[in-house]
A = this chain, B = another copy of it.
Amino acid sequence: MDVGFIGIGAMGEGMARRLLEARHRLVVYNRTRSKASVLVAEGAAVADKPGDACGGDVVVTMLADDRAVEDLFVGGDLLSAFRPDTVHISMSTISVALSERLTAMHDEAGRAFLAAPVFGRPDAAAAGKLFVMAAGPENLITRSQPLFDAMGQRTFVVGEKQPQANVVKLAGNFLIASVLESLGEAFALIRKSDVDVHRFLEILTETLFSAPIYKTYGTLIADEKYEPAGFKMSLGLKDIRLALAAAEAKTVPMPVASLVKDNLLAGIAQGEGDSDWSALARVIARNAGLA
């Protein structure tokens, strides 16, 4: 397919490369052009401005936050550069409110829209091992499946309304954060009880908690290895805020999310915003007089 890919960051680069490997034709755009240029050797064309990436079958956006998306679709008028049959696939982690707004805008403009945020870190993006959560009209998802297959190991269809995918993504990130918080508390107790933390982690992950999330983050916390960051605490805070905003919009109290938000703020206030967000466990350890 002819694909425009907007947003060549840590995630986007790997995703775009996977599309190229699957022999799709790519026009890529990034605000900092040099980041897009790395894909030229592999066959991508680089667009001078976002609109130049919108003339194909599909436009994928993979941007850092709501603001970056709004710059294009609310501040700018990127939709006017779309062909009538271009499908916009928004894969960024954005707010449910913005996804609702984008859905309405595309409807009004008669343009096709999918929300398809992903689970996975940059290494999973590079390996095509992302999990894709897609929502929107079924036929559009079907049409886009070859792209999802190139970028992800599996696609889940969340529903027919695009914002449903975004809320699932945010709820998932909240669950990860809650695991960081709970592990942090458990590890603080374990350390002050004079039990070997790696032994404890082994017991967890070989019994009831045998999920990647416990293995990956449990090891970071047991090793107290929070730098370099895989996913920065400041970005983690952003995602928890989005989850809380979605919850408030639906009048849902989420006390653990609130608690995690406050502890992330504490970490950032104490200078850890650029550490991995699992350093939440260090904030907790400090409150226990450790470290």
Interface residues of A (CB under 8 A from B): 96, 119, 131, 133, 154, 156, 158-159, 161, 163-164, 167-168, 171-172, 174-176, 178-179, 181-183, 185-186, 188-190, 192-196, 199-200, 202-204, 206-214, 241, 243, 246-248, 250-259, 261-263, 265-266, 268-271, 284, 286-289
Contacts and interface: CB of A to CB of B under 8 A. Distances in A.
A158 B271 contact: no
A51 to B, nearest CB: 28
A171 B194 contact: no
B156 A253 contact: no
A247 B189 contact: yes
A212 B181 CA distance: 20
B172 A204 contact: yes
Nearest to A241: B248
Assembly stoichiometry (copies): 4
A263 B256 CA distance: 11
11 contacts: A96-B193, A156-B199, A156-B203, A167-B193, A171-B200, A175-B186, A189-B243, A210-B210, A211-B211, A253-B288, A256-B256
Given A156-B199, A204-B175, A269-B287, A253 B247 contact: no
A265 B253 contact: yes
Contacts of A241: 248
A200 B289 CA distance: 32
Contacts of A208: 119, 131, 172, 175-176, 211-213
5 closest A-B pairs by CB: A269-B289, A211-B211, A258-B258, A178-B182, A253-B262
A154 B206 CA distance: 9
Contacts of A168: 190, 195, 200, 203
A96 B189 CA distance: 12
Given A164-B194, A254-B185, A131 B207 contact: yes
Nearest to A200: B168
Nearest to A190: B171
Contacts of A182: 174-175, 178-179, 182, 256
A41 to B, nearest CB: 32
A195 B164 contact: yes
Contacts of A266: 253, 287-289
Contacts of A192: 250-252
